[in-house]
Structure 1
Amino acid sequence: MVCLQQLKGRDEEHFFKATRMSVANFDCLLSILKEKLQKYSNREAIDPETRLAVTIFYLAQGCNIHVLAWTFKLGISTVRKIIYETCDAIWSELHEIYVSPPNTTELKTIAEKFYIKTGMPNCLGAIDGKHIHITRPANSGSLYYNYKKTFSIVLMAACDANYVFTYVDVGALGSQSDGGVFARSSFGKQILDGTLNVPGDAYLPATMNLFPHYFVGDSAFPLRPNLMRPFPGHNLTPDKDRFNTMLSKARVHIENAFGILANRWRILHTRISASPSNADKIVLAIIVLHNFLMLQNDRNYFQLELVDRTYNNREYHGRWRSETNPLQSFQQRFVNRSSSSAFHLRNTLKDFLNNNSS
């Protein structure tokens, strides 16, 4: 505990570098989790603040378990247990508040913000998936073996216009394709079968054309009435190229959300030495912490320079692109089983964007 108290006694900058949050937000998090982290034993129990500090250091710095054990004067197996239990507590205590699927009113607000920021009307979010590297699970064969010849689990997620994750699914086998992972994820299934609770069709701005609300993804995702992807191919006509550019402007929000995540939580740059189920707990805890800090408006955690942005009609790359190795994307696979109505709706949206863009 000495190292934590020393950090708290120094300036905010040093504390943030170690934990990716302010002292106030650390203490707020501790107050929420304290009861859940309190343990009782015949021996002197490890207090909740130490448990949280060990876990946050591990997630923020990607610390080796042995180093944490030496630093906190704890056993290696004890540190592992603390991390898994605390990650589990972070998810169980906070996910209903910070990663709860948005209701229809909240989705309408998300769509309004996307339209203001990107010019894409009726957009409910951007979706993508990333590989999270893990050590080879025992007796797993090729189940977690991905096309990059590493072992991984898959994080599939959607985010809003403020880089907050709205739908999350983690734990799919790394050997599956992007489209396969999406189809098996809970919110992916609901998008594909049309059962996701979303607002009804709304008029495209300044028109009498009713249009469904939709998510945006890259070419690895199928084209559906509620899921827009780019026109395929090169040497596209100007109107299709313009559509792809504007769709990309919305879709890049999920790329930036993952960029912030990887920039702040360096455990994602390591090969997580844990069973798949425990790796799931670690990734879900990071998602909750990301949303918690974004919604707490932690000024150090999120800075505008960190993400891609436009200023004076000039495009600037987010700082995460030069500071952080991006999380591994899926191998792109085209999915062509789309309905004629989906193709028609994409063309309708294309025409709207070309007629209403400056």
Structure 2
Amino acid sequence: MSFFRFQKDDIYRLKHALGVPDRITLPNRSKLDGIEALCIGLQRYAYPCRYVDLVKDYGRPVPQLCLAFNWITNFVYDAHRHRLSTLEQEWLAPHHLRTFANAIHQKGAPINNCWGFIHGTVRPTCRPREHQQLVYNGHKQVHSLKYQAVSTPNGMIANLYGPIEGRRHDAFLLRESGLLAELERFSHDTDGNVLCIYGDPAYPLRPQLQVPFPTVAITPDQAAFNGAMSTVRISVEWTFGDIINFFKFTDFKKTQRICLSPCGKMYIVSGIVTNAHTCIYRNITSSYFELVPPSLEEYFQ
């Protein structure tokens, strides 16, 4: 399991859920089994190994391994990118959002209509040769790309947007992602009541997006509200942690070469596969909120 992050039988379940063909043809006309291509992709995403390190495992030359990895990355991205780009999904139906909101409220959140949490993350990259200032994040002091995610209390990633240049503010990601429009359409319960997600002070206050009270001249009640919401909001950090803990390839900045590697595509694929991993094995977030994520087949239906 340490090589692929999935047990043997679950790799076959994942192949079926993703819709990977039984037999694939690479651009150089080489043919290999779909399960082999999936294993190559999973093993490389699990840890930043070199292609030459995989030769002994698969008995294939480096060019074929590279093509197989690129093929499975493109396939998963093209076929399943929409699962992280829209809230119009069965597992995010109004009655499920109400269940999420109740679970968060029971863990101490002062509001009873918050069903998820939004946050941005900075992923370091190699220093580009040109236009370095575009991706330099002054706060973290690294060259980077930024991503925005919405996590739910059952441990799943509901929305993942990016990449955007590392110098950009979280509010810029929110505007560019079109998430507010998605929330206006889908963030409500079965009775039509408005539900919201919760973010840090970088985000604007909206009916579907709540943020902490400003820290200047704050009252004791407002401070208590901020503290209680901060306690439950930590789960969004666990979600980002799952991506880079289970699939460390995206956490190794020497593999994140802007204009030479599809950095954004690989991170999105890592998010999709992380959701698949959560569906099968759960995670710390789902255990904390005592919620069960959808099954693998339900998520990819």
Question: Which of the five TM-score ranges fits, normalised by the shorter chain?
Answer: 0.7 to 0.9
Separation (CA, whole Å) in 1 of partners of 2:256 and 2:62: 13
User: Which residue of structure 2 lines up, in the alignment, with residue 273 of structure 1?
Assistant: 256
Quickly say closer, same or farther: Cα 1:270–1:71, change in 2 above 3 A: same
CA distance in 2, matches of 1:286, 1:158: 15
Residues in 2 aligned to 1:146 and 1:292: alpha-carbon distance in whole angstroms: 31
Q: 1:77 to 1:220 in 2, by over 3 A?
A: farther
- Alignment match, 1:89: 75
Does 2:133 align with 1:160? no
Residues 109-188 of structure 1 correspond to what in structure 2 (within 5 A)? 109-119=99-109, 120-137=111-128, 139-147=130-138, 148-187=140-179
Cα distance, 1:47 vs. partner? 2.6
1:48 and 2:27 aligned: no
How far apart in 2 are the matches of 1:61 and 1:69? 15
TM-superposed deviation, 1:137 = 4.6
Give the superposition deviation at 1:92: 3.2
Deviations 1:215-247 (A, max 9, x none): 101122222222111123278432112101221
State how far apart, in whole Å, the 2-side matches of 1:24 and 1:290 are: 17
Aligned residue for 1:20? 5
**Which amino acid letter does the alignment assign opposite residue 289 of structure 1?**
V
Name 2:295's counterpart in structure 1.
none
1:29 aligns with 2:14: yes
The gaps in structure 1 that reach 5 residues or longer are 1-15, 204-210, 311-358
Q: One-letter code of the match for 1:293?
A: H
Q: Give the Å deviation of 1:59.
A: 0.9
Cα contact 1:99–1:165 (8 A) shared by 2 = no
SS of the aligned residue for 1:224 comes to coil
Report the CA distance between 1:95 and its aligned residue: 4.7
Under a length normalisation based on structure 2, what TM-score does the superposition of the two structures give?
Answer: 0.79
Gaps of 5+ in 2: 290-301
| Residue matched to 1:332 | none
Instruction: Note if contact 1:90-1:285 (Cα within 8 Å) is conserved in structure 2.
Output: yes
- Other structure's SS at 2:149 match: strand
SS in 1 for 2:13: helix
Structure showing greater radius of gyration is 1
Gap change, CA 1:34 and 1:174, over 3 Å in 2: same
Among candidates 56, 61, 65, match of residue 47 of structure 2: 61
1:197 and 2:181 correspond: no
Residue by residue over 1:290-319, the C-alpha shift from the partner in whole angstroms, topping out at 9 and shown as x without a partner, is 1112123x2xxx454x89959xxxxxxxxx
- After superposition, the Cα gap between the structure-2 partners of 1:53 and 1:79, relative to the gap in structure 1 and judged at 3 Å, is same
Tell me the residue number matched to 1:351.
Answer: none
Amino acid at match of 1:240: Q
| Distance in 1, Cα, partners of 2:7 & 2:52 | 26
Change (3 A) 1:157 1:19: same
Question: Counterparts of 2:67 and 2:117 in 1: how far apart (Å)?
Answer: 35
Assess, with a 3 A threshold, how the Cα gap between structure 1 residues 109 and 61 changes in structure 2: closer, same or farther: same
Identity among equivalent positions (%) equals 20
Contact 2:187 2:208 in 1 (8 A): no
Q: RMSD of the alignment, in Å?
A: 3.2
Residue in structure 2 matched with residue 328 of structure 1 by the alignment: none
What is the distance in 2 between the residues matched to 1:94 and 1:252?
Answer: 27
Amino acid at match of 1:291: N
- Relative to the length of structure 1, the TM-score reads 0.68
Cα distance in 2 for partners of 1:199, 1:42 equals 49
Distance 1:141 1:106, change over 3 A: same
Q: What is the CA-CA distance between 1:63 and the residue it aligns to? A: 1.8
